[in-house]
Structure 1
Amino acid sequence: MDDLATRTGILGRIIPVDVGVTPGSGPGHLSLFGYDPFEYEIGRGVLEVLGLNMDLQDGDLAARANFCTIRDGVVVDRRAGRIATEETVRLCAKITAVLPQVEGVEVIIRPGKSHRFAVIFRGKGLSDQLTDGDPHKDNKPVLYTTPKDNDAGFASKVVNTFMEKVMDLLKEEKVANGALLRGFSTKPAIPPFASNYGMKALALATYPMYRGIAKVLGMDVKEEPKDYAEMVTMLKNNYEAYQFFFLHIKETDLAGEDGNFVEKVKAIESVDRIIPDIYALNPQVLVVTGDHSTPCPLKGHSWHPVPLLLVTRTGERDGLTFHEKNCVAGSIGTLYSKQLMSLVLAHGLKLDKYGA
């Protein structure tokens, strides 16, 4: 990326949501695609459910879930050691066999990657106005949902009963003996990406949540690429059929959450190796950035601005290598993420002149 940035790139930084605000991946991505995250709130549950190709109906309550490790009422590992996907498949089947419904509400479960799974609660009178059933940090007591308004009392009871029954069912499991649920949400209404920008978009992503984001915005979503090389191959095979491509890389975020700086460097280097193949397709605009920062020292998302590299055919270039300090000095400056699409469209010569 350094060579590309130096020869043809301009640099800057983006603020995902607002100054000092630590975003989730949902609002972080919505901002990247030009949607105001304060106007369009999409819960993580919906994104996970759609990303796993589950049938989300009107009135359904969707939730993102993690298997976790609980000791004496304390969540000691929110991700259950990042258990293998095969183990999550087994545990989900075990729960489904015993808990087809809770409090008269149908429960639909589907495993995701590693420790993740998604849940749909299907029944009458379900509200998404619930606090998370997740302490969000290790070594905190098990946390149940509470209703945010008077209409959410029944939904809170359903979810909490489900969590209790799962803990009882998995009490003999050595590692994954509980479940945390968060991101409660219902089917959203949001303008399609194609309507906003007049471009047909394709998403290539391996993790369900990001596939879910793409589906919410009306992007086409192909089958999961098994690795970066296959992702590039899929990009090449579909290049003439679309005008916009969203390629999602998860491994940098995972390494940041684990506080593993060495692995984060390796993840960035892996991405670096596929950039020449992408650039060889001669895109009008190539953007390299992220939906949020995940610093290794914090082991989680943060409010820090995200580095931005924009490679275009417009002749602009900063002559700088791509790293955080140079992004501070880059000619783009610091933008809000929701402004990025306007800049991309401008460099792609997609915008008409304003005024006479």
Structure 2
Amino acid sequence: MKDQLSLLQTLSVETDSKIVMLVLDGIGGIPHPDTGLTELETAATPNLDALAAISICGMSDPVMPGITPGSAPGHLGLFGYDPLEYYIGRGVLEALGIDFELRDGDVAARGNFCTLDENGIIVDRRAGRISTGKSTALAEQLCGIDVEGVEVIVKAVKDHRIIVVFRGEGLTDKITDSDPQRVGFRPQTVERLAVDGSKMAEAANQFIEKALHVLKNHHPANGLVLRGFSQKPDLPGFSEIYKLKACAIASYPMYRGLAKVVGMDIIRTGQTVQDEIQSLVENYRKYNYFFVHYKPTDATGEDGKFERKVAMIEELDRVIPQIQALGPDVLVVTGDHSTPAVMKGHSWHSVPVMICGAFCRPDNVNSFNERACLYGGLGHLTASQIMPVAMANAMKLEKYGA
């Protein structure tokens, strides 16, 4: 994969053409047992379908067939990085997403407030998606927890999400998560994954134990789980590889953090899709690559709300003409992974993708959904292959070889 990035860096050229990559988080689904249709197949999407008719379409594996990706690997693939070679932990992404200044040696973890029953079993991994205001108040209480030899900093992110940053000498991210990522289980004890991980594992377990004591009377947020322990990574820069002036428009902090790690500028935006489109319009002349992230398709899928996910797809469909009106030379529409509402979580299923531009070779696909895109001209590719195809269609890659 390093060879691919090196090749792309060699072939990439600066041009005025513009690429918009619209990522519908968790867009892929599987058929509902009552209808035999996925969320995309159920939704009324006249604009996405019209775009598919003038695009080249296909299916993409975020990592590789059969592997269920997290959000970070899913997006790294879309940016052209091999997720098996380049890894960024969730904790770092959440921290950078809220502009927390990580120091060298810090270990950051993504935290979820959760609901525990009387036996300490997780019954809701998201504590009913409590408000950011409630999380902020609870995070302030947890900041007072004393852990021997380690400073612990807790900050609210959004809704039930927080970051927990461990700061001190001799810390490492080579430890396991406490989050089983399933209901019906107890939070797990953090274990070391390397010889030098004992201090970090002990600090994490000590913090969690004291945090549970603080939270015990704060139902539904009477529990806490941590995952994605990580330290700052060192990745080749997105703009240096592709010779692009790139920006990210995302309402959720984690995706801003991911874009920041690879070197994109972060455009502040509001919480709605219309806010994001307005941010795109306002900054369209300043950049030539735009990563636009749409979260509701993933959140509704994780909550198992099939009809709500359908409605969120239809909401997104309504803004497609506004993006097309800007006249991007290449418009990519895809997802970072599948989140079937039937499964209430991420899955290994491939994701539909379409690429529209003046130099694309349109196929016979006339609908943007999983079943239709199976027959598209792009065929079945990995997510890390999407960016080179987008660059080529934007006339941003020189010829390889004599």
Where does residue 35 of structure 1 map in the other structure? 81
Q: Look up the equivalent residue of 2:372 and give its one-letter code.
A: N
Q: Which amino acid aligns with 1:154?
A: K
Give 1:59's aligned residue: 105
Q: In the alignment, what sits opposite 1:103?
A: 148
Give the Cα separation in 1 of the matches to 2:304 and 2:205.
31
Distance 1:82 1:354, change over 3 A: same
Q: Counterpart of 1:314 in structure 2: which amino acid?
A: F
Partner of residue 120 from structure 2, selected from 45, 66, 73:
73
Structure-1 residue corresponding to 2:136: 89
* Aligned residues of 2:239 and 2:246 also touching (Cα < 8 A): yes
Q: Which amino acid aligns with 2:108?
A: A
Contact 1:205 1:248 in 2 (8 A): yes
Do the aligned partners of residues 123 and 5 (structure 1) sit closer, same or farther apart at CA in structure 2, a change above 3 Å counting?
same
Instruction: Describe how 1:1-356 pairs up with structure 2 within 5 A.
Output: 1-6=48-53, 8-71=54-117, 72-96=119-143, 98-99=144-145, 101-314=146-359, 316-319=361-364, 320-356=366-402
Given that residues 204 and 225 in structure 1 are in contact (C-alpha distance below 8 angstroms), is that contact kept between their aligned partners in structure 2? no
**Aligned length, in residue pairs:** 353
1:271: Cα distance to partner? 0.7
Q: Is the 8 A contact 2:360 2:393 kept in 1?
A: no
Residues 59-111 of structure 1, C-alpha deviation per residue, up to 9 Å, x if partnerless? 00010000011121211111111111111111111222x32x41121111110
Is 1:287–1:309's contact at 8 Å kept on the other side of the alignment?
Answer: yes
Distance in 2 of aligned mates of 1:175 and 1:226: 25
Q: Secondary structure at the match of 1:140?
A: coil
The offset of 1:299, in angstroms, is 0.8
Q: Is residue 59–residue 353 contact of structure 2 (8 Å, CA) maintained in 1?
A: yes
Give 1:225 deviation, angstroms: 2.0
- CA displacement at 1:172 relative to structure 2: 1.1
Runs of 4+ in 1 over 4 A off after TM superposition: none
User: What root-mean-square deviation, in Å, do the aligned CA atoms of Structure 1 and Structure 2 show?
Assistant: 1.0
Does the CA contact (< 8 Å) of 1:12 and 1:332 recur in 2?
yes
Q: Secondary structure of 1:108's partner?
A: strand
The percent identity for this pair of structures is 49
Structure 2: gaps (5+ residues): 1-47
Q: How far apart, CA to CA, are the structure 2 residues paired with 1:224 and 1:53?
A: 14
Amino acid at match of 1:64: R
Query: Counterpart of 2:380 in structure 1: which amino acid?
Result: T
SS at match of 1:11: strand
Deviation of residue 315 (structure 1)? 5.3
Report how far residue 307 of structure 1 moved. Answer: 0.5
- Is the 8 Å Cα contact of residues 94 and 110 (structure 2) preserved in structure 1? yes
Partners of 1:269 and 1:332 lie apart in 2 by 25
Per-residue deviation, residues 19-78 of structure 1 (Å, max 9, x unmatched): 110111111100100001111111111000000110101000010000011121211111
TM-score (norm 2): 0.86
Give the conservation status (yes or no) of the 8 Å contact 1:134–1:144.
no
Please name the residue that 2:30 is paired with.
none
**C-alpha distance after superposition, 1:311-342 (max 9, x if no partner):** 11115222412111110011110100011111
Paired AA for residue 214 in structure 1: A
Alignment partners' CA distance in 2, 1:250 and 1:230: 13
Determine the C-alpha separation between the residues in 2 that align with 1:304 and 1:140: 25
Separation in structure 1 between the aligned mates of residue 360 and residue 202 of structure 2, nearest angstrom: 59
1:40·1:190 contact (CA, 8 Å) conserved in 2? yes
In structure 1, give the amino acid aligned to 2:392.
A
Contact 1:205 1:247 (C-alpha < 8 Å) held by counterparts? yes
CA distance in 2: counterparts of 1:259 and 1:307, whole angstroms: 20
SS in 2 for 1:112: strand
Query: Which residue of structure 1 lines up, in the alignment, with residue 22 of structure 2?
Result: none
What is the SS of the residue equivalent to 2:309? helix
